[in-house]
Amino acid sequence: MSINRREFLQTLAIASAGGLGLHSSFSAAQKSADQFYEIPKFGNVHLLHFTDCHAQLLPMHYREPNVNIGIGSQMNRMPHLVGDYFLKANHLSAATLDAHAFTYLNFIDAANSYGRMGGFAHLATLVKQLKASRPGALLLDGGDTWQGSATALWSNGQDMANAALALGVDIMTAHWEMTLGEVRVMEIINTDFKGKIEFLAQNIKTTDFEDPVFPSYSLRNMNGVQVAIIGQAFPYTPIANPAYFTPNWTFGIQEEHLQKTIDEVVKKGAKVVVLLSHNGMDVDLKLASRVRGLHAILGGHTHDGVPIPVKVKNPGGITLVTNAGSNGKFLGVLDFDVKGGKPVDFRYQLLPIFSNLIPEDLSMANLIQKMRSPYESRLQEPLATTDALLYRRGNFNGSFDQLILDGLLAQKDAEIAFSPGFRWGTALLPGQSITMEQLLDQTAITYPYTTVNMMSGSTIKTVLEDVADNLFNPDPYYQQGGDMVRVGGLQYSIDPAASMGNRISEMHLNGQRIDADKNYKVAGWAPVSGESKEKGGEPIWDLVARHLKEIKTVKARRLNTPTIRGMKGNQGIEDI
């Protein structure tokens, strides 16, 4: 890896701020940057893994949560640790590059010091470097790749298909890809990806005869070792997203079929068996305890950056479970040493992608520029500026979510507003301009309709209880990922550890207790029903863009979050 003189000056500043050590020579600073990504080759089976990039082709900021509550057996365990608790559990030091990559701590100052993260041109450089040192290495894409940006929305996923091919992806599975619809998904797979990228999902079948829609696995010979990669798409796609996008396909965890698939690939000679999963970390941990024969689960969906694999015991031995973060911030590197027909050791590192420390791959940079060019004027349309940090991630609210809620309340003249608990969406630092591109980083979906409905107090409670159970059910198989629905106007209390139907209490609006029998005007967006599609509705980005142009400047404001009860001692919460 090499860097030019301008990048060298940036590296000096980054190295000093990040604890890499300030050097007075070009070669010394170059060495420090290189060493951060210098991963010695180990073993004879090599897997590279990224997931949940959500169509972020350019470097960006993404703030990790200060609230990520674990319930029951997951309390105070990875991935439900935040801030200082996270650093301690993963043996990371404060005020370092890793601390910024993996936690929310000192986010604004650290982001200004270390710069942006991710970007496919920088990721491509690292992938090429690692593949060159690891013969036969496979690049695995865990899904949520074709959705999450303006250009992915406007190109119907074509920009990300092109980028995946240029990046050298070998195998992928999926979730949000399905919101492009069955026809478009199959078009990309059967044309762009044919003979180049394998699309795997052992848990997707046809609704009529339960035939497999996609191959369940891929068998590869790597350095004389048979390696099996099994695909696991998001099990709850037709529930979490509109079912009308995939009317002919069924999903589900399909644990029994997975075990049969594992047994099949082992019978065919696989010595290393890996699940490329989009289940979410908690689901993967439970799954790993119940099936035998998996050596590792490379997971996604819940956006958890997990630097140390969790070792899960099961009837067949031990399965390593990891999750590789989101937004192109990380690249996982898993190496197995296989001897005598079985893995005897492994090495794993989750590498944060600091774009100031990795030069762009010019061919990828040129491709991205070419793909963005037709949309550039629309992308750069100015909407407002922000005086506050704008971010999304967290169990209950984020400041960009609050902005969307404020827009819904104002533009729809509503009493209460709901916004989905999506975990994708980039962060903006104070003083930055908010453009249409950055707004679409938060809202770019294929069902963006805004809604206004009259809802009774009892119905509102039911909605909150249902979402809370999805997030906090102690059985991971009943969790569908995502965070709590964001709420504007309404105040309430929540006990995440309570039983279903009993988590939500003390609901108030403007100081008055919510009346179960009274109707309230509620605005929202991203409805999943077919009826809502037929009805239509103003796209959320148009509504928020109008709101931003009216207010001109986004001021810092207190987030509307619930009063959290019963969580004393929970290390998934840090107040800020």
pLDDT band with cut points at 50, 70 and 90 for residue 22: very low
Read off the amino acid at residue 340: G
> How confident is the model over 113-153, as pLDDT tens digits?
999 999 999 999 999 999 999 999 999 999 999 999 999 99
The average pLDDT across 533-543 equals 95
- Residue-wise over 170-179: b if at least 16 C-beta within 10 A, else e? bbbbbbbbbb
CB 177 within 8 A of CB 300: no
What pLDDT score does 31 carry? 60
CA distance 440 to 150: 5
In 223-295 the beta strands, taken as DSSP E runs, fall at 225-232, 249-250, 272-277
Task: Name the DSSP letter for residue 236.
Answer: T
Please give the structure tokens belonging to residue 61.
């900021």
Q: What is the pLDDT of residues 517-526, one digit of tens each?
A: 999 999 999 9
Q: Select from 428, 329, 400, 355 the least CA-distant residue to 53.
A: 329
Kindly state the average pLDDT of the residues 211-230.
98
pLDDT attached to residue 208: 97
Sheet containing strand 138-141, edge to edge, reads: 198-199, 171-172, 138-141, 45-50, 330-339, 342-352
CA 511 – CA 121 distance, rounded (Å):
51
Alpha carbon distance 355, 363 (integer Å): 16
- Predicted pLDDT of residue 86: 98
| Dihedral, CA of residue 279, residue 281, residue 286 and residue 291, to nearest 10 | 60
pLDDT for position 469: 95
Question: What is the spatial distance between Cα 191 and Cα 151, in angstroms, rounded to a whole number?
Answer: 20
**How much of the chain exceeds pLDDT 90, in percent?**
92
Q: Which is nearest to 153 in space by CA: 246, 241, 56, 247?
A: 56
Stretch 214-241: mean pLDDT: 98
Mean predicted lDDT score pLDDT of the chain: 94
Residue 9 has pLDDT above 90, yes or no: no
Q: How many CB atoms lie within 10 A of CB 139?
A: 22
Nearest to 297 by CA among 261, 312, 46, 305: 312
Distance of alpha carbon 528 from alpha carbon 532, whole angstroms? 7
359 vs 34: CA distance, rounded Å: 11
Pairing of strands 45-50, 330-339: antiparallel
pLDDT one-digit tens code per residue, 386-437: 999 999 999 999 999 999 999 999 999 999 999 999 999 999 999 999 999 9
Nearest Cα residue to 101 out of 90, 88, 110, 91? 110
If 0-12 CB within 10 Å is exposed, 13-18 middle and 19+ buried, where does residue 534 land?
A: exposed
The reported pLDDT for the residue numbered 446 is 98
Least confident of 12-26, 36-50, 263-277, 540-554: 12-26
Please give the pLDDT value at position 61. Answer: 98
pLDDT, one tens digit per residue, over 167-186 is 999 999 999 999 999 999 99
User: Residue 418: phi, psi to the nearest 5?
Assistant: -120, 140
Q: Give tens-digit pLDDT for 49-86.
A: 999 999 999 999 999 999 999 999 999 999 999 999 99
Angle at 147 between CA 232 and CA 444, to 5 degrees: 140
pLDDT higher than threshold 50 for residue 560: yes
Structure tokens at 18: 């990040």
Q: Is the pLDDT of residue 21 over 60?
A: no
pLDDT at 26 over 80: no
Q: Is the pLDDT score of 221 beyond 50?
A: yes
Q: pLDDT, tens digit, for every residue of 457-503?
A: 999 999 999 999 999 999 999 988 789 999 999 999 999 999 999 99
Note the pLDDT of residue 33: 57
Whether 18 has a pLDDT exceeding 50, the answer reads: no
d(CA 386, CA 402): 13
